Structure 1
Amino acid sequence: MEYRRIDKQEVLRYLGYQGQEVDADLDSLIDSCIAECERTAIPRTCYQLFDIEPTEGGIAVCGTSLVLRGKSIYEHLKDARRCALLAATLGAPYDSTIRVQQNQSMTKALILDACGTDYIEKVCDTVESEIKQRAAQEGLFTNFRFSPGYGDLPLEQQPQVTALLDTSRKIGLTCTPSLIMLPRKSVTAIIGFVSDPPPGKRKPACADCQFAPNCTLRKEGKFCGR
């Protein structure tokens, strides 16, 4: 599977740059980190399609014991009768690359982290495109990716999603008791299959995120959404 290249402007955005001039040394270091990320990361993905139905308190994933809880996921999937659960990771070697640099150059470690953040989004975009094609084959459309932790969909449901997708065996992705995904540069998400194209396909904003009250980006007047 081919993935889009890491976007340097997105890396700068994750680093907190807002149009400031970047000196030649930093520009060269970012280029080097982008190349290292694309060379070291081992993207792996998996997804599975499920029928779903509304239930008291959320959305039931048919044929499983999983009930996605909360008003936010209900709104996301209320017009869908089918959904895709997906997971993606950049792999353990990239985690190791960042950890090594944390002991050698924190600047480079931060840049590598930002590169990984953009790259995992690119990986998810590619999987989402494949899911869109699956939906189109059924005469359906898709809405945006919605992850545990958005809105009031509990982050505590992350282990249920990874277990249902068998991510440990399929792509080497696990979820710790403290709800941290390993490898760290990993994502799970839910995409609904709907009958009509969603108007504007709004992506989640700060108001949807459980981490907003303690978000360091928000404290600096920045945000991670596009």
Structure 2
Amino acid sequence: MYIDRVEALRYMGYRGQSMDANVEKLLDECIDEVMLVSKTSFLYDIFDMESKEEGLHLIGTTLLLRGKDIKAHLSGAEKCAVMAVTLGLEVDRRIDFYSRTELAKALVFNACAAAAVESLCDTVQGKIEAEARSMGLEITSRYSPGYGDFPIDIQKELSKVLKTYERLGLSVNESSIMIPRKSVTAFIGMKREKCRKENNKCKSCKYSDCVFRKEVDNNGKII
């Protein structure tokens, strides 16, 4: 895992503006601190799938994936990898502490943690891709509960199926919020044909007004 400065700046709301030295210094400090206190852990399991009228069923589990968007995302997939990652509770504690004592640092620290968990997801996705290729399969990009019309309330059942608390210390509350908060779950399809994986994951998201949305410059570079 590493923290991409550009990604952290995006979560801070920067879009190519100049930064003063104090912000630069605070960003560097927060990157170092997030890396120091994170207790990263992850898991993933791979399931066969079957299509039912109500949604996609992961065989051997109680998980039924409802929604047109997740169905389209996993269309043609033979298997589905389900992943969960977390940075651990200390990151949450630091964010809460700085929110009470040093708001500017809380905002920067939170942005760095968001970039860190995204990096951890990329690492786990790479492991899933390697395993898929060993089976002669290619992978889709990852898709998380809450994207599009994929209900976020699947999180609690997903946590039970993956045993995330026992394996990672990751739980889900009654509002479908994961604890630790800097955690992610996602679904990745495995299929025979080559998959087109979008570098800019924001392009497939319907929330066009999102303040964290990645933009692309005239040269096709994500900014």
- Taking structure 2 as the reference length, the TM-score comes to 0.91
Q: Give 1:206 deviation, angstroms.
A: 6.8
Post-superposition CA distance 1:59-102 (Å, at most 9, x none):
11001121101111111112011010000000001100111111
Task: Report the counterpart of residue 40 of structure 2 in structure 1.
Answer: 43
AA partner of residue 213 (structure 2): F
Rounded to whole Å, the distance in 2 between the matches of 1:108 and 1:180 is 23
Task: Report the counterpart of residue 181 of structure 1 in structure 2.
Answer: 178
Rounded to whole Å, the distance in 2 between the matches of 1:202 and 1:140 is 20
SS in 2 for 1:83: strand
Q: Give 1:224 deviation, angstroms.
A: 5.4
Return 5+ residue gaps in structure 2 as ranges. 216-221
Post-superposition CA distance 1:111-154 (Å, at most 9, x none):
01000100001101111100001100100000000001111111
Task: Report the counterpart of residue 113 of structure 2 in structure 1.
Answer: 116
Rounded to whole Å, the distance in 2 between the matches of 1:12 and 1:202 is 18
SS in 2 for 1:87: strand
Task: Report the counterpart of residue 92 of structure 2 in structure 1.
Answer: 95
SS in 1 for 2:6: helix
The count of corresponding residues between Structure 1 and Structure 2 is 216
AA partner of residue 169 (structure 1): E
Rounded to whole Å, the distance in 2 between the matches of 1:24 and 1:9 is 16
| Segments ≥4 residues shifted beyond 4 Å | none
Task: Report the counterpart of residue 161 of structure 2 in structure 1.
Answer: 164
SS in 2 for 1:65: coil
Seen in structure 2, the aligned counterparts of structure 1 residues 138 and 206 have a Cα distance that, compared at 3 Å, is closer
Determine if contact 2:83/2:186 at 8 Å carries over to the other structure: yes
Seen in structure 2, the aligned counterparts of structure 1 residues 191 and 102 have a Cα distance that, compared at 3 Å, is same
Counterpart selection for 2:189 from 192, 201, 207? 192
Q: Give 1:197 deviation, angstroms.
A: 1.3
Counterpart selection for 1:223 from 195, 208, 213? 213
Task: Report the counterpart of residue 50 of structure 2 in structure 1.
Answer: 53
- Taking structure 1 as the reference length, the TM-score comes to 0.90
SS in 2 for 1:80: coil
Rounded to whole Å, the distance in 1 between the matches of 2:201 and 2:153 is 19
Counterpart selection for 2:133 from 132, 136, 142? 136
Return 5+ residue gaps in structure 1 as ranges. none
CA RMSD, 1 decimal: 1.8
